[in-house]
A and B are shown apart, each in its own frame.
Chain A
Amino acid sequence: MEKARPLWANSLQFVFACISYAVGLGNVWRFPYLCQMYGGGSFLVPYIIMLIVEGMPLLYLELAVGQRMRQGSIGAWRTISPYLSGVGVASVVVSFFLSMYYNVINAWAFWYLFHSFQDPLPWSVCPLNGNHTGYDEECEKASSTQYFWYRKTLNISPSLQENGGVQWEPALCLLLAWLVVYLCILRGTESTGKVVYFTASLPYCVLIIYLIRGLTLHGATNGLMYMFTPKGSSALSLLAFQIEQLANPKAWINAATQIFFSLGLGFGSLIAFASYNEPSNNCQKHAIIVSLINSFTSIFASIVTFSIYGFKATFNYENCLKKVSLLLTNTFDLEDGFLTASNLEQVKGYLASAYPSKYSEMFPQIKNCSLESELDTAVQGTGLAFIVYTEAIKNMEVSQLWSVLYFFMLLMLGIGSMLGNTAAILTPLTDSKIISSHLPKEAISGLVCLVNCAIGMVFTMEAGNYWFDIFNDYAATLSLLLIVLVETIAVCYVYGLRRFESDLKAMTGRAVSWYWKVMWAGVSPLLIVSLFVFYLSDYILTGTLKYQAWDASQGQLVTKDYPAYALAVIGLLVASSTMCIPLAALGTFVQRRLKRGDADPVA
């Protein structure tokens, strides 16, 4: 006798689970960067078009497949066609890679969260050097926030080759992160369903609080205006610039990529979540809701991010002006407090003419303070979250509170996405009769968490951040495009679009509109193929792949080439997931041939 499939307690849990999975760190640290690179306001146009043309149809497709087949990714694709079970296996492999490195981000968020309960915040001051006469050298050359990230958190080595040992502090935080994830997935949908209420809603509370705080910060408007205006232009050329960006193919490609990866398509998580639905669930409505909320969150988060940028840039600019004033005051023994931001230029001119020799002597030390160059630092990824944001937070009043709120939000976003990733791995495992008859659900989850945690210790080594970047850039990108492409073709042409449509109609009681059919059969596969071609050609044209390494002696990042074994690992990452599809098809083909051979002893 089969046990009934566990279900979500209500459809709100399902929607929250999807939102919690889709709204992740990429919304906070990738979208604002793209907005800044491609002209701010004008980036929204390709973004929304891609959402409607690519995001919603593909999301609806995955949810419908999961809800219809009521199994995890491997079982679902095997049902669609036995030759395509490799798609499911590839999804599981990619999810496995993702969960390996993604939880390290949660570990870092925990680390920063625990360190936020100190006064002053540890990343706001440089530590002293050996004889207490000055500050640590590396910290002086870089900034205190960079020092805390690269030296105290990562203890990063100068290059990929120098591995170093496992750092016990991040290792402990990683262990804690995996324990928290295990706690949430322990009981399957029963526990996950309750946790997603928090992981989906709390980040929005924090974002709203940050929006109110961010908009009231001094200098926030500078950042917001910068988001919409290109560098150094007037209002007239603004329109021309926006239209020019629309014609830039890179903007469209990045918009498509962002929508694609932000929704988390192809990992099998959405199929897993939808498989726990009642068959009559209206997944079309949910697909539209989830994709709209995901995009809205990206835009919302980028408004918050840009007001924080503006505050940080203004603060640094004013600091720079103060430093220049102090230098001038000290060199020329002017009255203390005489120089202000408004008369600085005047006085500089006067001094240059009155004391030319002295002025030219100290001139090299005067930095040109510019608000533009402070705003220009376009950052994405961990750099944005852990360096730029912490720099802004340390200058706010009651910085401990803001820091705790911010890292708590990062944790909620990260854990929400991890729930989806682990669901993608666990659902096929618990569906498989062989495994689930021998081990209870808790033991399977425990084993998966244990294996991931053990492998994840690699990312806590001194060179761990470089390996993290490798996984982040290459583990999921190409493979996912291929997986989703095969998924779309499988549903439309192998299973049959008409058959799928009638299945959906029988299941939910609603007809599938022509729009979805056109998108599934034609537009979305074409889009994915073009993205795939673009990425492949980009990789081939770039030649040797490079990475950014932290140079402690200079206090900044330098570019280095990947060694041969790192390139081999990259190749292995991409191959191990993409090769599953043809290998599984081949395996099924051989299996069938052998069975047919057994059945007809004459032939």
Chain B
Amino acid sequence: MLWLLFFLVTAIHAELCQPGAENAFKVRLSIRTALGDKAYAWDTNEEYLFKAMVAFSMRKVPNREATEISHVLLCNVTQRVSFWFVVTDPSKNHTLPAVEVQSAIRMNKNRINNAFFLNDQTLEFLKIPSTLAPPMDPSVPIWIIIFGVIFCIIIVAIALLILSGIWQRRRKNKEPSEVDDAEDKCENMITIENGIPSDPLDMKGGHINDAFMTEDERLTPL
């Protein structure tokens, strides 16, 4: 009699948890991709932890606080590591609707990931899309801040240059007596007539022939 009951229970369990069964989900773990050398082996203890995490997620759903670890059934564990699971109700005859399981897992995905040192890419629940973390959006985009800083620097520099140019010009205009001296300094008055540079103002009174190049110009600096 007891054997028959045991047989019946396992048969029912086998029916409830099958690849592609109603309300069943496939899970895929990529432990070696995520952890490399520190990868742990997937054994029955890890499976127990997984059942516990699923039961924990279900207990957070209203009306499902009585979910136990034994209500979570795993099957078809492969080398990948991948397997299917279902969550049954306390009577162990029916499986809980997929929508409930889906929303419960989604809300606690972060806790489940952390329990196994994995992330959304390496612990996949097929058919349960994960909510992707939105990128951090500061209130003021960073580029505008940098733009504003550089913009202000450039405007200040332009203003300084223009103002200093105006001051220089005003100083030049206020000192007409200096103008004559300036001509004797390095500024050469050159106009082009027929392509030949010549000095129209004969300031030197005929003592110096400006048609000849001065010593400085003949020796090219470079």
Contact = CB atoms under 8 A, between A and B. Distances in A.
B79 A282 contact: no
A72 to B, nearest CB: 13
Interface in B114-149: 129, 131-132, 134-135, 142-144, 146-147
B22 to A, nearest CB: 22
A333 B79 CA distance: 7
Contacts of B108: none
Nearest to B80: A333
A337 B220 contact: no
B: contact size bracket: 35 or more
Given A5-B190, A176-B154, A440-B169, A114 B147 contact: yes
A183 B134 contact: no
Contact of B154 (A10, A179, A285): A179
Given A2-B191, A133-B132, A336 B80 contact: yes
B198 to A, nearest CB: 12
B209 interface: no
B102 interface: no
Interface residues of A, number: 54
Contacts, number: 120
Given A10-B222, A11-B222, A133-B129, A180 B154 contact: yes
A263 to B, nearest CB: 21
B221 to A, nearest CB: 6
Contacts of B192: 69-71, 79
Contacts of B161: 183, 186-187, 191, 442
B98 to A, nearest CB: 17
B150 interface: yes
A134 B132 contact: yes
A11 B155 contact: no
Contact of B151 (A69, A176, A186, A279): A176
Interface in A396-447: 440, 442
A132 interface: yes
Contacts of B33: 336-337
B70 interface: no
Interface in A102-155: 110-111, 114-115, 117-118, 125, 127-128, 132-135
Contacts of A603: none
Contacts of B135: 125, 127-128
Interface in A1-46: 1-5, 10-12
Contacts of B222: 10-12, 281-282, 285
Nearest to A113: B146
B158 A179 contact: yes
B129 A117 contact: no
A238 B187 CA distance: 62
Nearest to B76: A333
Interface in A165-215: 172-173, 176, 179-180, 182-183, 186-187, 191
Contacts of B178: none
B116 to A, nearest CB: 13
Contact of A11 (B132, B134, B154, B221): B221
A335 B142 contact: no
Given A278-B217, A442-B162, A503-B195, A114 B134 contact: no
A88 B146 CA distance: 41
A242 interface: no
B190 A4 contact: yes
B162 A186 contact: yes
A559 interface: no
Interface stretch (B4-12, B24-32, B49-57, B88-96): B24-32
A216 interface: no
25 contacts: A1-B201, A4-B187, A4-B190, A70-B190, A71-B192, A114-B143, A115-B142, A117-B146, A127-B135, A133-B132, A135-B132, A179-B151, A182-B158, A186-B165, A279-B197, A279-B217, A282-B222, A285-B222, A329-B80, A330-B28, A333-B78, A333-B80, A335-B80, A336-B33, A440-B165
Interface of B: 28-33, 78-82, 129, 131-132, 134-135, 142-144, 146-147, 150-151, 154-155, 157-158, 161-162, 165, 169, 187-192, 195, 197, 201, 213, 217-222
Q: Which 8 A/B pairs are nearest by Cβ-Cβ distance? A: A337-B32, A114-B143, A4-B187, A11-B222, A333-B78, A333-B80, A335-B79, A133-B129
